Amino acid sequence: MPSRYDILFQPIQIGPVTAPNRFYQVPHCNGFGWRMPKGMAAMRGMKAEGGWGVVCTEETEIHYTSDLSPFFEGRIWSDDDIPAWQVMTEAVHRSAHGALAGIELTYNSHDASNLYSRASAFGPRSMGITGGSGYEPGQTRAATKDDLKQVRKWHRNAAIRAKKAGFDIIYCYAAHNMTLAFHLLSKHNDRSDEYGGSLENRTRFFRELIEDTKEAVGDTCAVAVRFAVDELLGADGMQFDGEAHDIVAMLAELPDLWDVNVSSWKNDSTTSRFEKEGNQEKYISFVKKLTTKPVVGVGRYTSPDSMASAIERGIMDMIGAARPSIADPFLPNKIKEGRYEDIRECIGCNICVTGDTRFVPIRCTQNPTMGEEFRRGWHPEIIAPKKSDDEILIVGAGPAGLEAARALGQRGYHVILTDAKREAGGRVALESSLPNLSEWRRVMDWRLAQIQKIPNIYFYPSSPMTAKDILEAGAPHVILATGATWRRDGVGRYLSHPVKGNAKIFTPDDLMNANLPSGKVLIYDDDHYYMGGVLAELLAQNGCNVTLITPAPTISYWTQFTLEQDRILKRLHKLNVTLLENHFIASHTPTTATVTNVISSAESTLACDAIVMVTDRIPNDALYHELKPALADGQLKSLRIIGDAEAPNIIAQAIFSGHLAAREFDEVIDPDRTPFKVER
C-alpha cells in the first residue's frame, strides 16, 4: 500500500551519484576524530545500516595550518590519512541499500587555534583566534593572495585524497562562523584586493574552492556546499534575506548540492529548551527557489510527518539530521517498516555535543549504545539473548531502572519492575515538568512503550519495597535503581561542610513536587548544569524575586559545553533574575544570607525569605547495604546498584548505567580488565 512517507524513500540524483533515499546525516563532530578512526567508522557505519542514505564525516582538516586542536576532528593532511578514511567509507558502503559517504573538508580561519601544529593561522586579516578555548591569546596572519592560492591547492589535494578513500560526496564548507571561506564572505572583510570589497569579490574564494573541487573530483564525486544563510546577528551579520540570498543566487547551479543552515554552531544546534522541531525553516526556505540542485536542511526533525511535510512544502529535498541520527541510527528503517512508535526520538539536550566540546567519544541520553559500537561492540537494536531462565527484580523505575528492564526484557529474561510511585520515570518525570524541558519526557515514554510490548516484563507501580519485601519476592537477582536525593545542607563541589543557619531551605526535589517558596528567594547553584537556571525560571514565573548565585566564574557553567549558556543567561536577564558569580553561601538566617566572594573573601548580606540549595545529591543506597548480607549468605545470586543510586550523574549516565547492567547480566566480568577496546 502507498504510504504517506513514500516521498522520504525516493532516490535523488546528486551530481554523478545517487542517494537511495532522502535521509541525510549531515556532518557532525563526535569526539573520535583522527584519534579513534575505528570508533568513528563503526558509528557512521551503524547509521548506514539503519537506513540513512547519506552519512558524512565531521569537520576534516585539510592541512596542518588549520589544526583544530584541542578538538579531535578528522584529518586528511596527507596520503597517510587515506587508509583510516577507507575504514569509514567501507563501513558506510556495506549498507544493503547503497548509502553514500560524504566528507566535510575544512580550512578554518581564526577558529583554528593550531595548538598542535603551532603554525600561524590564516585569516582574511590579522584577527584574534577564537578556536580552542574561545579566548586564545593569539591572532591569525592576514592571508596574502599567494596564501589563498595555497589553500586552494591544499583543498584540491584533500579532495583527491578523499576520492581515493572512497567518498562519494565532497564538501566545500562555509558555515558556522569558522571557515576561511565564510570569513571572506563576511561584510566585515576589509580587504582591498579582488577578495574584498564587493559581494562578488568576497564570494570569489568560495567560488574558486567549488570550481577547483569540481574540476578535481567532479567526474565521479558530488560536490556539496555547506553554507550558513544567517548568523542571527541582524544587520551585523549574514542575513537570509540579504547577502546570503544574493550569494546563493550567484552560485546557485555551481555545486551539486546545497546543505544550508544558520550560524554559529550554538544557533544551528539549539537545545529543546529554546527551539523546537523545524526551527530553521524560516531561514533556509528561500534556497530551493534559487537553485535546481538538491537542498538539505536541518531542524532536529524526529517526526516522519514533519519530514515528509518539509519536502512536500518545498523547503528541502533531503532531511538533514545530526542529533536525530544519533538518538536513533535506525530511524529511517523504522519509518520504512511502519514502526513509528519504536523511533527513539532526540530530546534536544545536546549531550552528544559534549563529546566534541569535552574531547571524549560521543554519547547520547536516549541511545546508550552511541559511541560504543566499536569500543564495546554494542548495536542499538540487537542485544545478546538470555543465558538462563532466572528471574530479575528491578526496584526503581527511573531512567536507569527503565532502561535495565527494557534491555533485559529484550534479551528474553523474566523481569519484575517495581516503583514506589504511581507514575514511572523517577527524576525524568519530575524534571520534564520544569519550564521548557517537556521533550525530556521522551526518555521515559519511549522506554515505557517498549516495556509494554515485551510480555516477559511485569511492571508494578505504587509498590514500595523494603529489604524484607525484596527477599520474600524470591527473585534470585536484584537490581536497585532507587535514585538519589538532593542535599539541603549546601555541601557540594565548593563546600565540604554544611552551611550553618536557620533559613527556610528548599531543594530541587521540593520544587519539582510543587512545594515552592515565595518572596525573595536565593538559589545557590553548586551543580552548574541546567537545574539552577531552570529553577530560577520556575520561581521567577511564579512571582518570586530571584537571585541566582554560584561559586563558579559563570552562571550554569557546564552548559557552555551544551552550547546553551548564552541563551540561559539571556532568558534569566529577561526574567529579571539577579545573577551573582564567584560567591558561596557562608551562613543564613530566616531573613538573610551571608555570601562570600571566592576570589576576595569579601562578605556581603543578601535579604531572602528562602534558599534553594542546588548542590550535591545523596545516593538512595540504603536498600543495597541492607541486602548485601543476603548476597553473602547465598539468599541472592546477584545484587547490583545502578544509576543515581550508585553515583548521581546526568540522565545520560543513568541510562548508560542501566543498559550496561543489562548487557553485563550473566556475564563474567573481570574487574582488572578494561571492558572496552582502546585504539592506539
Cα distance between residue 127 and residue 241, in whole Å: 28
Q: Mark whether 173 is an active-site residue.
A: yes
Q: Mark whether 176 is an active-site residue.
A: yes
Query: 105 has which bridge partners?
Result: 60, 172
Tell me the CB-side half-sphere exposure of residue 25, using CA atoms within 13 A: 35
Question: Exactly one of 29, 56, 346, 352 is catalytic; which is it?
Answer: 29
Cα distance between residue 286 and residue 249, in whole Å: 10
Question: Exactly one of 24, 173, 283, 524 is catalytic; which is it?
Answer: 173
Q: What is the DSSP string of 68-86?
A: -TTS--EE-SSGGGHHHHH
Q: Mark whether 29 is an active-site residue.
A: yes
Cα distance between residue 351 and residue 320, in whole Å: 19
Cα distance between residue 577 and residue 612, in whole Å: 14
Is the CB of residue 374 less than 8 Å from the CB of residue 43? yes
Q: Mark whether 283 is an active-site residue.
A: no
Question: Exactly one of 176, 245, 583, 659 is catalytic; which is it?
Answer: 176
Cα distance between residue 19 and residue 130, in whole Å: 36
Is the CB of residue 87 less than 8 Å from the CB of residue 107? no
Cα distance between residue 92 and residue 40, in whole Å: 11
Could you count the other beta carbons within 10 Å of the beta carbon of residue 63?
24
Rounded to the nearest angstrom, the gap between the alpha carbon of residue 256 and the centroid of all alpha carbons in its chain is 29
Q: What separation in angstroms does the CA of 115 have from each of 70, 442, 608?
A: 7, 40, 47
Cα distance between residue 502 and residue 499, in whole Å: 10
Question: Exactly one of 67, 168, 268, 342 is catalytic; which is it?
Answer: 268
Residue type present at position 637:
K
Helices (H), 515-564: 531-541
Q: Which residues contact 439 (CB under 8 A, 6 or more apart)?
A: 272, 345, 347, 348, 432
Three-state secondary-structure class, residue 183? helix
Three-state secondary-structure class, residue 677? coil
Question: How many helical (H) and strand (E) elements, i.e. helices and strands, does the chain have?
Answer: 21, 29
Helices (H), 252-382: 265-268, 281-284, 304-312, 323-327, 331-336, 353-357
End-to-end CA distance of the chain: 51
**Which active-site residues does the annotation give?**
29, 173, 176, 268
